[in-house]
Amino acid sequence: MPLKIYKDGGGNPIQFMEINGVRYPYVEGVDQDHVVQVAKEAKARDDDILLVTYAKSGTHWTWEIISMLCNGNAETVPTIKQMNMIEAISSDDLTSLASPRVLNTHFRFNDLPKDMVRKKTKIVLVHRNPKDVAVSHFHHHLKLKSLYNYNGTWSEWLPLFLEGNVDVNSWFDYVRDWEKAMEENPDYPIHLMYYEDMKEDLCREVKKLAGFLELPVSAELCQNIAKKCQFENMQKDKKGLENEFWTNVWVNKQPNFYRKGVVGDWKNYFTVAQNEQFDELYKQKMAGSKLNFRFEL
């Protein structure tokens, strides 16, 4: 379970735990190799729901929405999504979760628990445009000091993202891998959502999600969930639900899972030259893809 140190464009170090070639946040004192391997052998239940995202793509937000739909009410869920993240909790904790379990992961399709794939566990897959993902990821690395021990600037950090030397590796490889998985498994129940569509009309997307999950919910409940899960409400209502561990990993012990939640914040960070470089890489990496990303609304 090697701890790997990478250097950003300015020579500043950043640390990750690398397991089978995939980078994860480094959590001191935890046998992450064991936790990840056990997660891949997790047993599925017939009513499980699995939320899948690349890091910093709206995981907290969508997990809250799915949980509310399953609970049948628009009340804040009294925990955080990390407590249901299959590669971040123990086998006992995973087993102890009440059904229906709303689980979440950053795994790629081939890394999913074999039993879940065999049973065709319903998957909600959320994608977000990579420029906003990059900005959110940068702040994530800066603020979770005990996990990454990083202290560089945006311009120094960006090459890490472009080269895929971040959590879960390359964004481009990740979304293309899931696109391929969907094409090769057309009968697998996967509901693809876009972060930008959710920002545009959350009630519409909640209704679509409820239909996919086959949950008999009213239009009124969908409206109430969409209202309750607006960014400002989640930022306020979820505050203080972190346990001691998650509080301690943040700079000054100030958890900040909900930073801005907007589309187009990348414009405040990318220089013209950086944007041109990114667009050229995007053109190369996404050639032939049918995925439709929006970088502004």
Give the residue among 97, 109, 100, 104 at the shortest CA–CA distance from 124.
Answer: 104
Structural domains of the chain in order of their starting residue, each with its CATH number? 3-285 (3.40.50.300)
Angle between the 154-162 and 130-143 helix axes, to the nearest 10 degrees? 120
Q: What is the pLDDT of residues 38-69, one digit of tens each?
A: 899 999 999 999 999 999 999 999 999 999 99
Residues 6+ apart with CB under 8 A from 140: 55, 56
106 is an active site residue: yes
Give the residue among 87, 80, 82, 83 at the shortest CA–CA distance from 113.
Answer: 87
Query: Residues of the chain whose pLDDT is less than 70?
Result: 1, 238-259
Q: Are the C-beta atoms of 221 and 73 separated by less than 8 Å? A: yes
pLDDT at res. 27:
84
Residues 6+ apart with CB under 8 A from 4: 15, 16, 17, 18, 23
Phi-psi region of 253 (alpha: psi -120 to 50; beta: other; left: phi over 0): left
Catalytic residue among 60, 106, 127, 141: 106
Q: Token pair 């950043």 is at which residue?
A: 14
Cis bond before residue 100 (omega within 30° of 0): yes
pTM score, two decimals? Answer: 0.93
pLDDT at res. 252:
56
Residues 6+ apart with CB under 8 A from 51: 59, 62, 63, 66, 81, 102, 103, 104, 105, 123, 124, 126
Our CA angle for 232, 238, 239, nearest 5°, is 95
pLDDT at res. 259:
62
